[in-house]
Amino acid sequence: MDARSVIQAVRDGHGLTPEAAQWFAKGLASDTVSDAQAGAFAMAVLLRGIGTPGRVALTQAMRDSGQVLDWDMPGPVIDKHSTGGVGDSVSLLLAPALAACGCYVPMISGRGLGHTGGTLDKMEAIPGYRALPGIEALRRVVGEVGCAIVGATGEIAPADKRLYGIRDISGTVESIDLITASILSKKLAAGLDGLVLDVKVGSGAFMARPEDARALAQSLVETANGAGCKTSALITDMDQPLGLYAGNALEVIEVMETLTGSAISGALWDVTAALGGEALWLAGLADSAEQGSERIDAVLEDGRAAEVFGRMVAALGGPADFVERYPDRLPAAPVMKVVEAPRAGFVSSIDTRAIGEAVVHLGGGRLVGTDKINPSVGLAEMRMIGEALGRGEPLMTIHASDAARADAAEQAVLAAYGFSDDAPDEPPLIHERIGA
């Protein structure tokens, strides 16, 4: 077998066999497949598709191109993946909540991508937290605490890392086949018993159209189950930010307020409970997703999830008293500016992508890969669709490194908000469930 024959088979519509997928993934990982051949393969997949069997084969092959973790735990090993959103800090709530319910959660996460926030960037806002501790530390912390939110090492799915870079420069990022294999190869390399997926749809999502989000969710669920991992997906709304805060340290504050009960972010809680309910049902720890959601509610309410979060932070190098002292431990921006509503009326629409871009330009995300993130900046206490405001009332508060960036962010967020005289329909938090 050689690269040319694999590419030709896909190009001619014959799909991708497990043997061809294994050969090609090994070639990607070992550099015996050239960049030109990898680009040709990606383009052939984009144009002709490889169907569910091909997606399963490619996912498993890229998973097997590096280290695949195995676990000997007294409970199920479960994880969650989100396709990316704004003000979406569900992972920080869900990992300790699932652990408090008896799951083991090796949550291998990523950094911000484009206008969307990254789980690792949020965790690194906590002083001392080691988001890249290595595989052995991951094993230790998951075993001792029940969860660990960390980043992937080069040992995990190296074929995907290579193909991911090729897709970015070859115009093949949009392929659902390749997106599916990329997401799942890394997740399944963590040795999971079950996986719940949060597929975003709306103005702040990579899949803005419902039909695109549904196609991706179905592809992910079919492929993951075909690869032997129990999986379901929720399609959740991103026509407005999920939380009231956007920005790394600010989102950690919102999470800690919710975990400790000092201020509850309702939408963030509800999506966490819904995804957690699915996960517990998949894991066999609840008779239904609804019963699972009730268990998530309980550990959030009684402080057990907060206790697990604090132990995880301490185990990965953060402050031992973080849960009790988080306002003192997190960085704060020197400039705060209140944005006032330009007119009286109801918030009728939010360009969520523009909100995310405003955070990036404040320094809370990366314009280029080498940019260093400022964890303290962002947007706080954002008003949501359906809320009534008088002219001059606070729309949100900008946290910035200087006045010039605050002024630029003010213009950006004002342009992102629409107002109406009549109360609009509020978008649902959860649009659809996709199951096996």
Please report how many Cα atoms fall inside a 13 Å half-sphere around the Cα of residue 368, on the Cβ side: 1
| Active site members | 79-82, 119, 167, 182, 186-187
| Euclidean distance between CA atoms 249 and 255, whole angstroms | 10
Query: CA 298 to CA 273: how far, in whole Å?
Result: 10
Please list, residue by residue across 381-414, b when 16 or more beta carbons sit within 10 angstroms of its beta carbon and e when fewer do: ebbbbeeebeeeeebbbbbbbeeebbeebbebbe
Give the whole-angstrom CA distance, residue 400 versus residue 391: 24
Q: Which residues contact 328 (CB under 8 A, 6 or more apart)?
A: none
Q: In Å, what is the CA distance from 377 to each residue of 113, 246, 250, 335, 349?
A: 17, 9, 8, 9, 24
Long-range (24+ apart) CB contacts under 8 A made by 135-143 are: 135/67, 135/69, 137/316, 138/69, 138/106, 138/108, 139/69, 140/315, 141/312, 141/315, 141/316, 142/71, 142/73, 142/104, 142/105, 142/106, 143/73, 143/104
DSSP letter, residue 362: I
